[in-house]
Structure 1
Amino acid sequence: MVDYLNHVILQQFKNWMLPIAMIVGGVFYPFVSSLSFLTPYLIFLMLLVPYCKLSFDDMRITRLHVILLGIQILGSLALFGIIALFDPLLAQGTFICVMAPTATSAAVITGMLGGNIAMLATYTLLSNLTVATLSPLVFSLIGSQTALPFFESFGIVCRQMIPLLILPFVIAVLLKRFAPRIHRQLRERQQISFYLWAVALTIVMGNTVAFLMKQDASNYVNEIWMALLALAVCCAQFLAGRRIGRRYRNKIAGAQGLGQKNTILAIWMAQTYLTPIASVGPAAYVIWQNLINSYQLWAKRHREQVLPKKEPVKTPIGLPGTPVIHPQR
């Protein structure tokens, strides 16, 4: 009985862990934001665990990758052109929420939701490299600040991406080759990523609230509009990625690949290339994408608890009033 109660309490705690993490990060942001230096290490460990399921043979560029990449790049430019007709500042804040590459932690949520980690990992790599390559050209055309030299921009993005995205995969391969016991333990304990993600989410929320609190009070109207547009864009990207991914039997990876953004990198790009206040867009996007992910994880766990595994129904044969079911030949 005690074990059953402990199991129920643990499941309920998991269901509400991410919303609790967001609330704790927002309320205690002065202290939590000081722990931001831990974020890269947490993401590194979060990726190492699901990457233990991958192999080089699993990583292939597909038509779905090309479609999602086209939406990310061309869609962001089209959206900027439309909104800029009304308000260039709002256009910049919304544009960066679409242009931003896929978050390296998206593979963690994809794995937790039962999606294709290999497909998402491949797209994350393509997304980050494409943005690193095109951002100097794009921002020099639409930005309001002097763009950094191409190789300097490329180097900054790569320094953020490679340690977080490539090294965990390399270490997972090395563990499989030289330490199979450790590799097997990590492969069989995928829930570790969930707890690491909760800690990382607390820190990210603390950083987001601290950033918003530092903004000038005169910009509140623009900030609210940017936050609302970020919400609309966030929902649209998750929905579009899910619908497109469903056509290729990768609805979860499609939604996460298009919807979950590297908001830390997006904020840096906005502050570097665009009007600094435009960074409020990706800062608000942090909240929206994590609310969506929290709901999806809660819904998945709720379905697993409510819907028991179906067992074959045994029909008694030969009793009066019961049909006789013959086995298929």
Structure 2
Amino acid sequence: MNKEIVIRTVRTYLLPLAIVTGCIIYSAFHFLSFLSPLKPFVAVTLDKAIPWLIFTILFISFCKVEVSKMKPHRWHFYLIILQTLICVGLTFSIMLYPDMVLSLPIEGFMVCVITPTASAAAVIGGKLGGNESSLTSYMLMSNVLSAILIPLLFPLISDNGETFWHEFSIIVPRVFPMIVLPLFLGLFVRYFVRRLHHFIVSKCKDLAFYLWGLTLVSVTGEALRCIVNSDESGFTLILLAFAGLLSCAFQFAVGKLVGHHEGQRITAGQGFGQKNMVFGVWTAFTYLSPAAAIAPGTYVLWQNIVNGFQMWYRTRWNERRAKDGLEPYQE
């Protein structure tokens, strides 16, 4: 088989392959007793490796960002306002009706909405033909918003009893170092270490995408662990999984709809739909309950099924465009 065909096939199906691999590896550690001694080592290794992988992914992505193109667009503010209104509305519905049957799925849905845009959104968005600079701007805005909304709203529906500033001081160290540091490092390399920047942009342009596939293997395993270790009934698990599916479909669809009017349908769809669910699962565990973490856990699977389909569709679409003598679609 031709090398280019192999690379294109792997690139097209990388995300579903990563999900399947994560499921297989988790199942092996869960069901095969002779692997049990390795569990603590694997857990510690992943706990230390994942932040560095995400940092590297962001650094490579930010090396390609042009500051002059990071100007805010109207769709940025539309989606930020919409995210805020949805989260505030869900918070008050849970406060007013804490004992309703759907309170737990609503909490899960809220976590999926309030979670900031994923670091890999720019990577996947760029592969899909989106505008990485515009997406990076929205990602920064989304992370700032989440760092404000989570400590402001979640104490109203949780039993932590802590102040806004205490919660804010916990969240900020988890959000900003992983976003701001690689951004500044990428910009520094771009303007002051030009040879290194040229090497990264020309030779490592796909590395971030493959690193995200590796990270997704671990994230998928974490999502399965949340589901398998849950004490909730089967019906509740289905409702939580459906909450994750509904929020995923809603956010991708709304993002694409809002961005369509400014010629950035893919960019806005990834910005609003692709979420940092590693952070989302942690948020649910910290402020709500392990059960509520199942919704963002399943969201990992749903959003990457969507991304996998989009990658497949883009490959086919660009093949048709090439036959018509057109360049690959790019926003």
What range describes the TM-score normalised by the shorter chain of this pair? 0.7 to 0.9
2:254 pairs with 240, 243, 264, which one?
240
1:138 pairs with 153, 156, 167, which one?
153
Q: Which runs of 5+ in 2 are unaligned?
A: 30-38, 327-331
> Aligned partners of 2:125, 2:10: CA distance in 1, in Å?
20
1:27 and 2:24 are equivalent in the alignment: yes
8 Å contact from structure 1 (residues 89, 275) kept in 2:
no
> Aligned partners of 2:182, 2:158: CA distance in 1, in Å?
36
8 Å contact from structure 2 (residues 106, 243) kept in 1:
no
Q: Which has more radius of gyration?
A: 1
8 Å contact from structure 2 (residues 117, 275) kept in 1:
yes
8 Å contact from structure 1 (residues 36, 203) kept in 2:
no
8 Å contact from structure 2 (residues 248, 303) kept in 1:
yes
Change in 2 beyond 3 A, CA 1:309/1:193: farther
> After superposition, where does 1:47-62 map in structure 2 within 5 Å?
47-62=58-73
1:40 pairs with 22, 34, 51, which one?
51
Question: Shift of the alpha carbon at 1:203?
Answer: 1.1
> After superposition, where does 1:257-268 map in structure 2 within 5 Å?
257-268=271-282
Partner of 1:90: 105
Partner of 2:316: 302
Question: Shift of the alpha carbon at 1:201?
Answer: 0.8
Question: Shift of the alpha carbon at 1:87?
Answer: 2.1
> Aligned partners of 1:309, 1:186: CA distance in 2, in Å?
31
> Aligned partners of 1:13, 1:103: CA distance in 2, in Å?
22
Question: Shift of the alpha carbon at 1:311?
Answer: 4.1
Per-residue deviation, residues 129-176 of structure 1 (Å, max 9, x unmatched)? 1221222221122x2322433233223322222222111121112112
1:172 pairs with 186, 191, 211, which one?
186
> Aligned partners of 1:118, 1:62: CA distance in 2, in Å?
11
Question: Shift of the alpha carbon at 1:306?
Answer: 4.8
8 Å contact from structure 1 (residues 270, 279) kept in 2:
yes
Per-residue deviation, residues 99-139 of structure 1 (Å, max 9, x unmatched)? 11111221111111121112211111111112212222211
8 Å contact from structure 1 (residues 101, 127) kept in 2:
yes
2:134 pairs with 107, 111, 119, which one?
119
TM-score by length of 2: 0.86
8 Å contact from structure 1 (residues 97, 281) kept in 2:
yes
1:249 and 2:260 are equivalent in the alignment: no
2:74 pairs with 63, 71, 86, which one?
63
- Size of the aligned set, in residue pairs, is 307
Aligned-residue CA RMSD (Å): 2.1
Secondary structure, counterpart of 1:28 in structure 2: helix
1:200 pairs with 198, 211, 215, which one?
215
